[in-house]
């Protein structure tokens, strides 16, 4: 499965309903699990972004689908990064 790091930024709606954020996270985790996407980690952060998700998905389409669902809630905006572990990176480098 491919790994994705997702940076989260609260929208105005999301920050107004901040107290519901942990429950929204639980609902997203359940939705992702049903879709076959594994939430490896979920963090609320301080700094440039409000949160970070680490996901494993069987395809880009599955990752995109669950993240479109997340964005459609109106509470966060996402920036998604495809992440490669050491072995994957070495494999990419060896192909050159």
Over residues 71-77, the mean pLDDT reads 96
> Taking a C-beta distance cutoff of 8 angstroms, is the pair 29, 35 a contact?
no
DSSP string for residues in 19-57: GGHHHHHHHHHHHHHHTT-EEEEEEE--SS-SEEEEEEE
Domain boundaries, position 61:
2-94
Cβ of 70: how many Cβ atoms within 10 Å?
22
Q: How many domains is the chain partitioned into structurally? A: 1
pTM: predicted TM-score of the whole model, two decimal places: 0.91
Would you say how long the chain is, in residues? 96
> What's the mean pLDDT in 59-75?
96
Percent of the chain predicted with pLDDT > 90: 95
Assign residue 46 the CATH number of its domain.
Answer: 3.30.70.920
pLDDT class of 34 with cuts at 50, 70, 90 = very high
Select from 76, 78, 77 the least CA-distant residue to 55.
78
The pLDDT of 29-33, averaged and rounded, is 97
């Amino acid at each position: 499965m491919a790994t994705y790091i997702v940076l989260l930024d609260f929208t105005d709606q999301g920050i107004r309903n901040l107290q519901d954020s942990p429950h929204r996270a639980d609902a997203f985790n359940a939705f992702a699990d049903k879709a076959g996407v594994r939430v490896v980690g979920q963090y609320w952060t301080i700094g440039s972004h409000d949160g970070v998700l680490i996901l494993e998905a069987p395809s880009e389409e599955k990752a995109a689908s669950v993240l479109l669902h997340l964005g459609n809630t109106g509470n966060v905006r996402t920036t998604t990064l495809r992440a490669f572990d050491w072995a994957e990176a070495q494999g990419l480098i060896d192909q050159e």
